[in-house]
């Protein structure tokens, strides 16, 4: 697997973050039942999903935000279609 790192790893908490307009976030979940919530720029919920422990990639619109409880770490990564 090749990962194109575009920024420093940061905590994803219950306070939603847009990750500076990123479109793809690599998430490292250490808890077995981590819920990730995707919201609009105005904090309206788009949806959520439960992740198993491990590494996951979440695609989003640049203005969308990601929140999580418990806290997990995320890194902005690049990709091409």
The enclosing domain of 34 has a CATH number of 2.60.120
Domain that holds residue 8: 4-78
Q: Is 59 exposed, middle or buried (0-12, 13-18, 19+ CB in 10 A)?
A: exposed
User: How far apart are the C-alpha atoms of 33 and 43, rounded to whole Å?
Assistant: 23
Encode pLDDT of 20-37 as tens digits: 889 999 999 888 888 999
For 27, the enclosing helix (H) or strand (E) is strand 24-29
Token look-up 């995707």 returns 38
Q: Total domain count for the chain?
A: 1
Query: Per-residue pLDDT tens for 31-79?
Result: 888 899 999 999 999 999 999 999 999 999 999 999 998 778 999 999 7
**pTM, full prediction:** 0.85
């Amino acid at each position: 697997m090749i990962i194109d790192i575009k920024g420093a790893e940061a905590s994803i908490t219950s306070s939603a973050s847009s990750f500076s307009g990123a479109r793809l976030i690599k998430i490292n979940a250490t808890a077995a039942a981590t819920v990730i919530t995707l919201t609009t720029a105005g904090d309206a919920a788009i949806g959520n999903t439960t992740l198993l422990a491990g590494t996951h990639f979440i695609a989003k619109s640049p203005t969308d935000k990601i929140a999580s409880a418990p806290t997990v770490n995320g890194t902005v990564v690049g990709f091409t279609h």
